[in-house]
Structure 1
Amino acid sequence: MKILKWVLRVLPFAYMAAIWIMSSLPADHFVKLPDSQIDHFIKESLHLIEFAILYVLLVLAMLTRRAAFTPALNIVCAVFAALYGISDEIHQSFYSYRSSSLFDLVKDFTGILVSFYFIRGALFKGKFAQLRKVLGRV
């Protein structure tokens, strides 16, 4: 169980490194679907979950600590994920084969806010009992 806690604590940093590396590469470096419109749609849709995943990983890392996970710490995790999203868009703007836009940030923030709604509800508002049960096991 101790190893799992350390894995959960390291995962956000590994994920941030992966985001940074992938943001430095052309959008079709790993996968390019035959239909360019579908390819573009799927890759643009990933913005909705990319930074939501980062926020969730940050929450899981914080839940492994002995200190209580507070509503304020939850907000800090969401803000940190959002700031990393901003830094990622700035980072992409330096590459001619990548795009950076305000609309991408809106998608990033939307994913974070949806995840925030469910985690906040589960941990602090008495909603989403199954999610609260899963998070309580961390």
Structure 2
Amino acid sequence: MPFAYMILIWTLSSMPDNAVVELPDSAVDSFVKESLHLVEFAILYLLLVAALLTTGRFSFKLSLICAVIAAAYGLLDEIHQSFVPARSATVIDFVKDVTGVVVASYFVMRGYRKHGFERIMGYFR
């Protein structure tokens, strides 16, 4: 799933930002699309963690590796967008990508420390 999601991100980043959906109000459209940076790479991190949970192996170190992979893919996506006509790449977009990953990893690690994910891991086995 994480690799399929990465392909989806790459594909959508290859299109103009209004290719899939454009809201009637340009301010709302811009706000929603800018906010999606926070969510988009948090989802990637969560999919990487879910993939690890299927193996039964999870630790703080592996969570950190997943976060680095998700953030690095955010950087790669921004670099990719800089070469796509009608798209832009900014440092603030990358900061939003990383912020989403950090917030998601905080909640994952908080849940892991409290419960160890025993119930969740049961669903993945």
Normalised-by-shorter TM-score class: over 0.9
1:15 to 5, 14, 29: 5
Moved over 6 A (4+): none
Question: Structure 1 residue 95: deviation in Å?
Answer: 1.3
Question: Structure 1 residue 134: deviation in Å?
Answer: 5.3
Number of residue pairs matched by the alignment: 123
Q: What's the CA shift string for 1:41-65, capped at 9, x where partnerless?
A: 1000000100000000000001101
Matched, 1:80 2:72: no
Q: Report percent identity of matched pairs.
A: 50
TM-score, L = length of structure 1: 0.84
Q: Which amino acid aligns with 1:26?
A: P
Q: Which amino acid aligns with 1:135?
A: I
Question: Structure 1 residue 136: deviation in Å?
Answer: 3.0
Question: Structure 1 residue 96: deviation in Å?
Answer: 2.4
Q: What's the CA shift string for 1:86-107, capped at 9, x where partnerless?
A: 0000000001200100000111
Q: How does 1:80-99 map to 2 (within 5 A)?
A: 80-99=69-88
Q: Distance in 1 between matches of 2:39 and 2:78?
A: 15
TM-score, L = length of structure 2: 0.93
Q: Distance in 2 between matches of 1:32 and 1:107?
A: 21
| Higher relative contact order structure (alpha carbons within 8 Å, sequence separation ≥ 6) | 2
Contact 2:22 2:29 in 1 (8 A): yes
Structure 2 unpaired stretches of 5+ = none
Q: Distance in 2 between matches of 1:18 and 1:133?
A: 31
